[in-house]
Amino acid sequence: MNAKYVYIHTIGCQMNVYDSDRIAMVLKPLGYKATSLLKLADLIIVNTCAIREKAELKFFSFLGRLADMKREKTDLIIGVGGCVAQQEGARIMERMAHVDLVFGTSAIGRLPGLIGQIESERCQIVDIDMSAGIHEFDYGEDEHRNGKVTRFVTIMQGCDNFCSYCVVPYVRGQETSRAPAKILNEIRLLVENGVREVTLLGQNVNSYGQKEGLCSFAKLLAAVNDIDGLLRIRFTTSHPKDLSEDLLLAFKDLEKLCRHIHLPVQSGSNRVLNLMNRKYTRELYLEKVKKLRNLRPDIAITSDIIVGFPGETIRDFEKTLELIKEVKFDGLFAFKYSDRPNAAAARLPDKISEQEKQERLQRVLDQQGHYTTLKNEALVGCVEDILVEGYSKRHRVIDLHNRQPDVQWTGRTSTNKIVNFIQGDGVIPQDEIVAGKMVRIRIAKAFSHSLWGQPVKAELIPFNLDSLIGEKSNVA
């Protein structure tokens, strides 16, 4: 079979990154190799995001640019997947006639058949059927052998919460959890291929398994914690209303569970939280933060904020700023509210002007920037265990001390802060530093988005790394 190339363009969240990996995997038996060069592509898949208007506009602009390419290379196949595909269906082809395939969020398992049909019949297809539920993939021996140290693993799809601003329940469908055995097998296979950290993904991980009568999320975490060779576990996202006592305790009891939680608050005003249908109050949120910090004083807490929700008054907005000041998050993702198709808030009156939303966003970012910097600066002088992920973006640097070129590595603290470092004065032999190893680093400098450190004498190997299968220098 002649090699053909697929270029996958991923927009949006970690779920889409995970789905794009699955897309590449199911296309392999058709002879498609993944490429990062657009001009080599025989097939282009755009994996889209509908969460905010901006992401959707980004997608249409990218898709528009592909029209010229298709004119020059007439047998090129263009497919659109993900949340915008699910939301818009055939309307995408009405707008962009050069698109051959629109496939929804539940159609990845059917992709080989759809692409095969387009290759032989040169037809246009729309498949946005969601009735089949979660598709479980059969992983081949080498499916995960791509040198990565950290990977996402979806544990559930969809969402039943219907927050009034959110499109997810409409484009990802009802909440459905995967069986624990499938999740654990996938993680074991990842670990056998060099992965040392997994992030478990779901829109509301706390309700994992409840509908299906599977185990609780805390029990699933405990089972993942028992997997030999895995060093770290993260998860996202936990809805504040469902953050249970047993999950809180997991932060104390499970040694591999990282000291970081992403707990989106969205607003500090009870009136707005109510309009958002979030089903918790500011007081309940603060209570959960207090409990988390009592159990793990060193836990990092990050959050999401929406500014300019319909009807958000200046007083409501100030309550959000006050909450940010009170919690002092380690980091924040802040967004300007945008109307989404079907989402209830799109029908609310008293929309906030774009200029006002922009000003509120800037105030949130400025305030949080101050706390992020303070948190990072507080780490200077501390010793942190870093899971090395590979070379940093600035791969080669000059070590001023030795005047020798040195390799710059990157990794994260348990609290999810990026740390870059070089081998420096040689306390750790160069060949000992490889992606997937834990290295103990003293933090020397703090920047707004990262830290800089130096390896200290002892290398930290908290688990028996020598016994791991596939130990290799898997630098990304």
Decide if residue 163 touches ligand SF4 (CB under 6 A).
yes
- Tell me: does residue 379 bind ligand SF4 (CB under 6 A): no
Which residue's entry shows tokens 């200290």? 456
Q: Which residue type occupies 301?
A: I
Shortest Å, Cβ 84 to ligand SF4:
16
Q: Among ligand SF4, ligand SAM, none, what does residue 304 contact (CB within 5–8 Å per kind)?
A: ligand SAM
- Shortest Å distance, C-beta 95 to ligand SF4: 26
409 vs 318: CA distance, rounded Å: 41
CA distance 260 to 389: 18
Find the part of the chain contacting ligand SF4 (CB under 6 A) among 123-131, 161-169, 367-375, 448-456.
161-169
> Is the Cβ–Cβ distance between 32 and 43 less than 8 Å?
yes
Of the pair 8, 163, the CB lying nearest ligand SF4 is at: 163
Give the pairing type, strands 77-81 and 101-103: parallel
Binding stretches for ligand SAM (CB under 6 A): 13, 51-52, 165-166, 168, 203-204, 237, 239, 264, 266, 304, 306, 335, 337-338, 340
Partner whose footprint covers residue 103, from ligand SAM, ligand SF4, none (CB < 5 to 8 Å by kind): none
**Which residue, 15, 22, 220, is CA-closest to 6?**
22
Residue that the structure tokens 């595909």 belong to: 85
Binding range to ligand SF4, per CB under 6 A, among 55-63, 77-85, 163-171, 346-354: 163-171
Rank residues 317 and 335 by Cβ distance to ligand SAM and give the closer one: 335
Locate 220 and state its tokens.
């699933």
Site stretch for ligand SF4 (CB under 6 A), options 159-167, 205-213, 328-336, 458-466: 159-167
Out of ligand SAM, ligand SF4, none, what residue 376 binds, judged by CB under 5 to 8 A for its kind, is: none
Cβ distance to ligand SF4 smaller for residue 20 or 237: 237
Contact in structure between 183 and 463 (CB atoms under 8 Å): no
C-alpha pair distances (Å), 151 with each of 158, 380, 390? 20, 28, 14
Chain center to CA of 362 = 24
Q: Which residue in 20, 203, 238, 320 binds ligand SF4 (CB under 6 A)?
A: 203
Tell me which of ligand SF4, ligand SAM, none is bound by residue 51, counting a contact when its beta carbon lies within the kind-specific cut-off of 5 to 8 angstroms.
ligand SAM
Name which of 159 and 218 has its Cβ closer to ligand SAM: 159
Answer yes or no whether residue 162 interacts with ligand SF4 by CB under 6 A: yes
Q: Which is nearer to ligand SAM, 169 or 411 (CB)?
A: 169
Q: Number of helices (H) and strands (E), helices first, in the chain?
A: 13, 19
What gap in Å lies between CA 61 and CA 159, rounded to an integer? 28
CA distance 471 to 95: 49
Minimum separation from the CB atom of position 166 to ligand SF4 (A): 3
Q: What is the DSSP letter of 31?
A: T
DSSP state letter for 430: G
The one-letter amino acid at 337: Y
Residue 447 binds: one of ligand SF4, ligand SAM, none (C-beta under 5 to 8 A by kind): none
**Which option in ligand SF4, ligand SAM, none does residue 169 bind, with CB closer than 5 to 8 A by kind?**
ligand SF4
Of residues 203 and 414, the one with the C-beta less far from ligand SF4: 203
Q: CA 124 to CA 77: how far, in whole Å?
A: 10
Nearer to ligand SAM, 217 or 409 (CB): 217
Tell me the closest approach of the beta carbon of residue 166 to ligand SAM, in angstroms.
5
Q: How far apart are CA 55 and CA 52, in angstroms?
A: 6
Residue 52 contacts which entry, ligand SF4, ligand SAM, none (Cβ below 5-8 A, type-dependent): ligand SAM
Q: Of ligand SAM, ligand SF4, none, which one does residue 23 interact with (CB within 5 to 8 Å by kind)?
A: none
Question: Distance between CA atoms of 220 and 208, rounded to whole angstroms?
Answer: 9
Do 334 and 361 meet the contact criterion of CB atoms below 8 Å apart?
yes
**What Å distances lie between residue 257 and 180, 199, 231, 470, CA to CA?**
17, 10, 9, 23
Query: Any idea of the CA torsion for 462, 467, 468, 471, to the nearest 10 degrees?
Result: 100
In the complex, the smallest distance separating the C-beta of residue 334 from ligand SF4, rounded to whole angstroms, is 15
Q: Which positions lie near ligand SF4, rule CB under 6 A?
A: 159, 161-163, 166, 168-169, 203-204, 239
